[in-house]
Structure 1
Amino acid sequence: MTNLRRLDLNLLVTLDALLEERNVTRAAQRLNYSQPSVSVQLAKLRETFSDPLLLPGPRGMTPTARALELREPLRQALDELERAVLPVAPFDPATAQDTWRVAATDNAEQAILLPLLARLRALAPNTRLAVIQAEPPRLGKQAQTGAIDLGFHTTDEIPEGLRYRPLFREHYVLVGRTGHPRLKRRPTLAQFCKLEHVIASPDGGGFRGITDTVLERAGLQRRVVLSVPHFLFVLSAVANTDLVAMLPSRLVRGVPGLKTFDLAVEIPGYEMAMFWHERSHRDPGHQWLRERIVETV
């Protein structure tokens, strides 16, 4: 059993670099150490853990099973330790040079990030924003590993263990192009079902949504003839054809060439939220960004 009181914490920093780089030379460069120094520390680590930890391989070094077990808890522990010992500096947006990585669907990009951009550039001109396509099955892991700083998703599907804040409630509207021959006035449900619909299916290829579930309860069925993965393609398809779509109201707000209608039947909406990992909760820059997003929406 390793005695933590006798363990040099610098060795753990070296182990973290070795597990990340899987190469003694690169780890030494990352730590600003000499290669022999890192080799000596690796030998001490092997003795401490009674395990080789890293073995020579065809493409660098290969971690043992014990090393793989250590990697994630070690990374989390070092993150917590770094936050504990570093002084919390006030965040000055005018001079900040942060790069924020945010996961969002194209719907969230339009409804949340696009309205934020002008203010973000004016208040924090030296910061950068990287928008990553949101993939719901991976969001929790991305937040835990630090691959993303912030994400947007519906409240009922926020990954467990993350902090979140609701931003707004959204409802669906029927959308068609201005001049659509069958949308001179709000259609009845029977007329709605006879229209040709396009649907956004983030998982790909789906032809059903919450609208279809509601219609089936009333004994009705609509005609979904096109399924696409992105909301913005839905907008283009609706604007350039006689297809119609049920879309979040914020997505079509102010878009020229389109007209919207509320249906005679209520289609359940959703609550949009932003989420983040505990490690970022008290970070002044992260707090500042979250506050600007809340103000924007």
Structure 2
Amino acid sequence: MNLLVAFDALMAERSVTRAGIRIGRTQPAMSAALSRLRALLGDELFVRSPDGLQPTPRALDLAEPLGHALAEIQRTLEFTQIFEPASSTATFSIGLSEHAAFVVLPKLLARLRQLAPNVVLRMRNFVHRDDAITLLDAGEADITIGVPHTSVGRILSQPLFEERFVCILRKDHPEAGRLLTLKSFMRMSHLLVSPENERFGTVDAALAKQGLRRRLAVTLPQLYAAPALVASSDLVATLMEGVVRASGYADKVYVSQPPLDLGPVAFNMSWHRRNDVHPAQRWLRAIVPNLEFGG
């Protein structure tokens, strides 16, 4: 790399002395660099003339591609020091769980169109919460957004938003319009939504504390298919309210408060500690929490 910088300076200045001044090297150091370049490339590269050093045809062939390469390296190094969103063409890789994609992406894209219209987003899907760690460790995602994963020291996280649980029934279900009691809840056939393909969810854990077990008729990995199934069946499903709202079936189902204390579902933004101080990624991480996810 040092030799290429020396070559670029010699092309610009056509003088060993001036080239050394340009890049902060002594004349003997520049002469030594030129000797090494000649040996490595098998060409004189520069020959003396009354007007100073003149490049050989081989040097002229090398000048443009090497100049472009050095300029690109310089831009890369500058990128790590400062980030200008309005002119940036950076690519951000984001890992998203299914519901996070529905909640975050439309708002994020709209915001980036305003602030950084030329950046590129590359989305990565993950299902199991701990797959977010795998994406971050492998450098395949700059940030991930989903429910909290296993805590590890190298992965940093920030809370973004919460979703509360609701129960849904078809509009003309016999229990629709009534206060949903635990007794009626337990009489029904249930649809369990589990992207991670588990058969023991949050509701089951809450029921188990009371010595109860519900009847699962359907276990489904796709969040947004659940309201459609409930709207045309006798099933009851306990879902995040935001899923019902975004599914397009909110007006086709009856929504009720669960007869259990379930607590909200948290969604976090996570990133790898090695990227904590990167200016571009710090900028992105500052944008995401201000997207106003509620409502």
Residue 253 of structure 1 aligns to a residue in which SS?
A: helix
Q: In 1, distance between residues paired with 2:118 and 2:199?
A: 43
1:211 aligned residue (191, 194, 203): 203
Contact 2:95 2:135 in 1 (8 A): no
Unaligned segments of structure 1, at least 5 residues: 1-7, 11-36, 38-82
1:224 aligned residue (209, 213, 216): 216
Mapping of 1:143-292 within 5 angstroms? 143-155=136-148, 157-204=150-197, 206-253=198-245, 255=248, 256-257=250-251, 258-292=253-287
Q: In 2, distance between residues paired with 1:285 and 1:87?
A: 8
Q: In 2, distance between residues paired with 1:230 and 1:159?
A: 28
Unaligned segments of structure 2, at least 5 residues: 4-39, 41-75
Give the paired residue count. 218
Residue 155 of structure 1 aligns to a residue in which SS?
A: coil
Q: Aligned in 2, Cα 1:136/1:179: closer, same or farther, shift over 3 Å?
A: same
- Which residue identity is paired with 1:108? A
> Among the aligned pairs, what percent are the same residue?
26
Q: In 2, distance between residues paired with 1:228 and 1:189?
A: 23
TM-score normalized by the length of structure 1? 0.64
Contact 1:142 1:148 in 2 (8 A): yes
TM-score normalized by the length of structure 2? 0.64
Shift of 1:198: 1.4
Contact 1:140 1:160 in 2 (8 A): no
Contact 1:91 1:284 in 2 (8 A): no
2:82 aligned residue (81, 84, 89): 89
The answer on 1:140 being equivalent to 2:158 is no
Contact 2:177 2:254 in 1 (8 A): no
Shift of 1:211: 0.6
Shift of 1:181: 3.5
Q: In 2, distance between residues paired with 1:9 and 1:247?
A: 60
> Any idea what the Cα deviations from partners look like across 1:143-184, whole Å, max 9, x if unmatched?
122111111233353444111111123321112333334222
Contact 2:180 2:257 in 1 (8 A): no
Mapping of 1:124-139 within 5 angstroms? 124-134=116-126, 135-139=128-132
Q: Specify the structure having the higher radius of gyration (Cα).
A: 2
Superposition CA RMSD, Å: 2.9
